[in-house]
Structure 1
Amino acid sequence: MTAIVGVDPSLTAAGIAILNDPKSAETPNVPRLLTVGESGRKGATLTERATRVGRQYELILRSMPPAVRLVVIEAVPVHNPSPNMASLYQERAALVLRLVEFLAKRGIPVVDVNLSTLKLFATGNGRADKTEVIASMASLWPHANIKNDNEGDALSLASMGAQFLGWHEPELPHHYAPKVDWTGVKR
């Protein structure tokens, strides 16, 4: 059974959503949602930070099913949105790049989606707050047990991928043609 995986990357609480191909999934096709991660500590050394990135990388990869068709991941902003949190920004970027490298070496396409596009797809508003994204995804996937905003974001990302591949039809006007670069993804 093939799957699409949505990833909201974080070291503390990465959200992961797994959508199975509806041709072989059980009915109803309930997304598998999980959150993995661990708290860091202020003043961690470079080695401790790098090791934490490695542990999170492994947790995320172990959560993925064996037959992944596509991974849609929340993009790391081009510029650090919070200069006071530079080390967290570096760690998140390192995590994303490690994940993308691993998947690319195995021929699994990875697409990144910026946060505004994720919110626009989920709610119709690119500036929506976390609760609005969760509510929209709960409406789209009524059988899903969304425990937090990380899982809501991940489910939005996986839903985008599923609609791009034709696994599911767009339900609302803002689901049509999100601004995503699908280069390298075969339908």
Structure 2
Amino acid sequence: MPEFDDLRDEPFEPEVLSSEIAFAGAVWDVRDDRVRYGDGEIRRQYVAHTGAVAILALDADGRVLLIQQYRHPIRHRDWELPAGLLDVAGEEPVEAARRELAEEADLVAAHWEPLVSSWTTPGGNDEAIHVFLATGISTAPAAHAREDEEADIRVEWVPLDAAVRAVLDGRMRNGILSIGVLAAAQRLRDRG
């Protein structure tokens, strides 16, 4: 049986013949690229994304912090992990994660470790998200003012195994939440 320990995505950079902003948005732009590929040329449009972080906050009782908020593109109040954009110049992903946990849930964590990273939708955007495992959770010194969709965020501490079941049963379909809870469950299993 072959070993797959070195299985990984591979960088590949064909010649970009042109790259233009087709739409300049308030948060993200849409790029229109022409690329030399093989013996021909392809054209691709995609959302140029700043990148993001998400936090799998796990308390001493093995519960994961979930937030629920309205997401207009899907017309649902979906369950998510606290998350946010890498939109502060020079900010390291773990620092952005600390900031987002405080902003979205009024919490701080004593311990941080990388959990998993993912390209969310590589056929449609270039977003890379870095999910961190945060433990040693406590209340932040100050509450964060929220507006728009964040003003009515619902916060729940859910047993990790219940979150895993909800993902696998198709009751919670947020992709970042899915990879985060599944990765955390595996990480805890690996630690024994």
Query: Would you say same fold, with TM above 0.5?
Result: no
TM-score by length of 2: 0.33
Q: Which structure exhibits the higher relative contact order, with contacts defined as CA atoms closer than 8 Å and separated by 6 or more residues?
A: 1
- Select the structure that is richer in helix: 1
TM-score by length of 1: 0.33
